[in-house]
Amino acid sequence: MPQRIETYEQAIEFLYNRINYERVAGTAYSAADLKLDRMRELLRRIGNPQEQIPVVHIAGTKGKGSTAVMIARVLETAGYRTGLFTSPHLSAFEERMSVDGRLPSPQQIVELVNEIGEPVADMDKSPGRLCPTYFEIAMAMAWLYFQRQRVDLAVLEVGLGGRLDATNVCRPEVCVITTISRDHTRLLGSRLSQIAWEKAGIVKPGVPTVSGVTALEPSQSIAAVCRELSAPLRLLGRDFDYRASVVPLEHDPTAMEISVVDVSIGDRQWLGLPVPLRGRHQAHNAAVAVAAVDLLMQHGWEITASAIRDGLHRVNWPARVEMVGRNPTVIVDAAHNWAAIAALLRALEDLPARRRVLVLAATQDKDVEGMLRQLIPRFDTLIATSYLNNPRAVPTEELGRQLAMISDRPFHMAPDPAAAWKLARRLAAPDDLICITGSFFIAAEVRDLILDAAQARSSHDRPSNRVRY
């Protein structure tokens, strides 16, 4: 960074120009590129802020973001100043780091980039592969931000895998593994036991671990890692369990129904806990979150039953079976692998609709065929498209070819998210349902289009000039 950054836009441009594995095809890098030496060195150069902040560290194939925000809201409600780091972001970079639900201001982002710029420039000149990546810089900025904001505890969502993820340079109070299914198989392995071993790389010696994994093969792999590190393991179905039900809102069948979950841990019970996020899988995430919070309580963190209840009630997590429109019902979801698509489809079963319209985009290196085979039979109208703001997108024509190979169903193709959204609106009647899914990036782009249009209609304000990518 040759000169001081003066504006938010310059700060984002600096970050954008770093190596970013969220924006390159998986074939362009390997596990050798994902190592912790750079992260440790970068943190050393900025004073090792991570050493001062205890952490709840969360890995998993799906559900880790939802579980992270649930735990964070409970801790905030209990009176602890809580940092939250998640990825990727939907609209703006600073969404990745928050304290008590508040994002850093544009000026704070500028200050953080300037503070980290010199150590990064020095590392860029060092011999070997020590040039910090986009994600590593974002993680280091979050640590600095949490330190400056004097957080009591931080909740970290793993970016990819666990063992070699940049978040894995931390001091956890509790480690959490939400679920295990196949994703990023080229880097993490194709067997569930291999993937579980990589995720369990976040486990630290003697640190208690909560696992929501119930399948035998990955569960055994996680248990073996915990035994080796003498890390107490709290396992769903053995050490804690839950029962979920749904409370419908009878006055509006398309409104957000409230899931209610009862969680039991030994002789302790939490009954009737609210889970505002849509989808039956969120009850699983809530149970895992409560099990992690209970471990914090066992280790001296003062958290009341009312803080757990009220914290869960405050949870809001965009692009997770999120309803962003009515008449027709519009659902945006970031599902991008087989297991996440299955959870989305289960959630959609609870929403009445005359016809269902799918807007789909996908990411290279994902199991696109597996997702398509689940999605095609469940929708009446299919629209294939390609998101714009990330080069990992499957081109629309290629997605169309895959659709044609799998099914003889007719489908539409739209060149970009805006065209796909306009087409979906033309095709859908008020009592239909439109679902946008297949990738975090298509969810983000169409969600921005919908919300920006709604804001323009309601206020006629000028659109934000915040940089989005």
Length of the chain measured in residues? 469
pLDDT band with cut points at 50, 70 and 90 for residue 469: very low
| pLDDT, mean over the chain | 91
Cα 171 from chain centroid (whole Å): 21
Taking Cα atoms as reference points, which of 346, 160, 374, 345 lies closest to residue 246?
346
For residue range 20-29, list pLDDT tens digits in order.
765 555 444 4
108 shares its domain with 256: yes
Would you say residue 39 lies in a domain? Answer: yes
Percent of the chain at pLDDT exceeding 70:
90
pLDDT of residue 26: 47
54 shares its domain with 103: yes
Q: Do 208 and 234 contact (CB within 8 A), yes or no? A: yes
Domain final position from 252, 283, 313 = 313
- Long-range pairs of 230-236 with CB within 8 A, sequence gap ≥ 24: 230/205, 230/206, 231/175, 231/203, 231/204, 231/205, 231/206, 231/207, 232/208, 233/208, 233/209, 234/208, 234/209, 234/210, 234/265, 234/291, 234/295, 235/211, 236/211, 236/212, 236/284, 236/287, 236/288, 236/291
Least confident interval from 166-170, 204-208, 333-337, 464-468: 464-468
124 shares its domain with 41: yes
Number of domains in the chain: 2
Would you say residue 3 lies in a domain? Answer: no
Q: Provide the domain limits for residue 67.
A: 8-313
For residue range 299-356, list pLDDT tens digits in order.
999 999 999 999 999 999 999 999 999 999 999 999 998 889 999 999 999 899 999 9
For residue range 410-437, list pLDDT tens digits in order.
999 999 999 999 999 999 999 999 999 9
pLDDT of residue 3: 79
125-134, 188-197, 291-300: which has the highest mean pLDDT? 291-300
Would you say residue 465 lies in a domain? Answer: no
pLDDT of residue 34: 58
Would you say residue 469 lies in a domain? Answer: no
For residue range 446-463, list pLDDT tens digits in order.
999 999 888 887 765 544
327 shares its domain with 277: no
pLDDT of residue 22: 59
pLDDT of residue 29: 42
Tokens representing 392 are 């990992």
For residue range 48-59, list pLDDT tens digits in order.
999 999 999 999
pLDDT of residue 460: 58
Q: E strand or H helix at 198, and its extent?
A: helix 192-199
Integer Cα distance of 416 and 108 in angstroms: 33
Tokens representing 170 are 């931390």
Alpha carbon separation from 112 to 12, 107, 147 (Å, rounded): 11, 9, 12
390 shares its domain with 270: no
Would you say residue 283 lies in a domain? Answer: yes
The CATH number given to whatever domain includes residue 299 is: 3.40.1190.10
60 shares its domain with 189: yes
Would you say residue 336 lies in a domain? Answer: yes
168 shares its domain with 24: yes
Q: For residue 269, is pLDDT > 80? A: yes
Domain final position from 290, 313, 336 = 313
Mean pLDDT across 262-266: 97
159 shares its domain with 213: yes
pLDDT of residue 126: 87
Q: Is the dihedral of CA 191, 61, 57, 279 positive or negative?
A: negative
- Report the greatest alpha carbon distance in the chain: 65
Q: Do 380 and 356 contact (CB within 8 A), yes or no? A: yes
Tokens representing 162 are 């666990």
Q: For residue 266, is pLDDT > 80? A: yes
213 shares its domain with 328: no
Q: For residue 138, is pLDDT > 80? A: yes
Would you say residue 97 lies in a domain? Answer: yes
pLDDT band with cut points at 50, 70 and 90 for residue 467: very low
Domain final position from 313, 347, 363 = 313
pLDDT band with cut points at 50, 70 and 90 for residue 150: very high
The CATH number given to whatever domain includes residue 439 is: 3.90.190.20
416 shares its domain with 281: no
Integer Cα distance of 395 and 393 in angstroms: 6
> What is the pTM (predicted TM-score) of this model?
0.90
Would you say residue 332 lies in a domain? Answer: yes
Integer Cα distance of 78 and 200 in angstroms: 28
Q: Is 269 exposed, middle or buried (0-12, 13-18, 19+ CB in 10 A)?
A: exposed
For residue range 156-203, list pLDDT tens digits in order.
999 988 999 999 999 999 999 999 986 644 556 568 999 999 999 999
